[in-house]
Amino acid sequence: MDANKGGNDRGSYTLQKLHAVWDKPAMGRLEAIVSNIKLYDTSLQSLKPTELIVDEIIDAYFGKLCFDRTNCIAFSATVSSAIFMGNYRSSVFRVPFEDKETVLCPTNTGIHWLLLVLKPTSKKILLYDSMVGSLPTYTNLLLNWRAFLQAVKYPDYNLWELTVQSSPKQIDSYNCDSVDEFCGTCSEKRSENAMIICGECW
């Protein structure tokens, strides 16, 4: 069988399975496990156009991006959001990341998703935001990160800096493009790119 044809057939099968899940009432059925993340029918429903993508879909995708890449890890959306929004517990364990080249941190501000990419070697934070933000908001992200590092006794925590990167601009209330574009799950592309998330499980 032609390799490309096989890939296309597999992608079509995955999309058929995804649409079959969409067509059924959401009952909390386990549909797949990707990057050790359990995805239920309710999770996959969030890949529909105009739906807000749930944390476990984002975690599964970023986990796949770092799979088999020893120099890359992804913090879960819950951990990233807690750290960068200043809601981490003082008893939080130190997260091992300093030996990585890239750390992906999808972060929810409560009303909006941001993507922060850590570069531990240079102590840089690259911020991708699809909405125009204010300097104090961005400054708080950096201060919260430094406070977390200080709390877990990470050396040179005050040397970290944050820079805002170019990012697609958001045109509606449900596509946070800084995360959606990175995930390949924008509204018009969600079903096509869902195979990246769960294609290996069906």
For residue 186, give the amino acid letter. Answer: C
Edge-to-edge strand ranges of the sheet holding 102-108: 72-74, 102-108, 113-119, 124-128, 161-164
Percent helix, percent strand, percent coil in the chain, to nearest 5 = 45, 15, 40
Name the pTM for this structure: 0.78
H or E element in which residue 146 lies: helix 135-151
Helices 77-84 and 135-151, interaxial angle, to 10°? Answer: 100
Q: Mind listing the pLDDT tens digit for each residue in 38-60?
A: 999 999 888 887 788 889 988 98
How far apart are alpha carbons 26 and 19 in whole angstroms?
Answer: 12
Q: Mind listing the pLDDT tens digit for each residue in 84-138?
A: 999 887 556 667 788 999 999 999 888 788 899 999 999 999 998 877 665 568 9
The residue whose two tokens read 């913090």 is 75
The residue whose two tokens read 């130190």 is 94
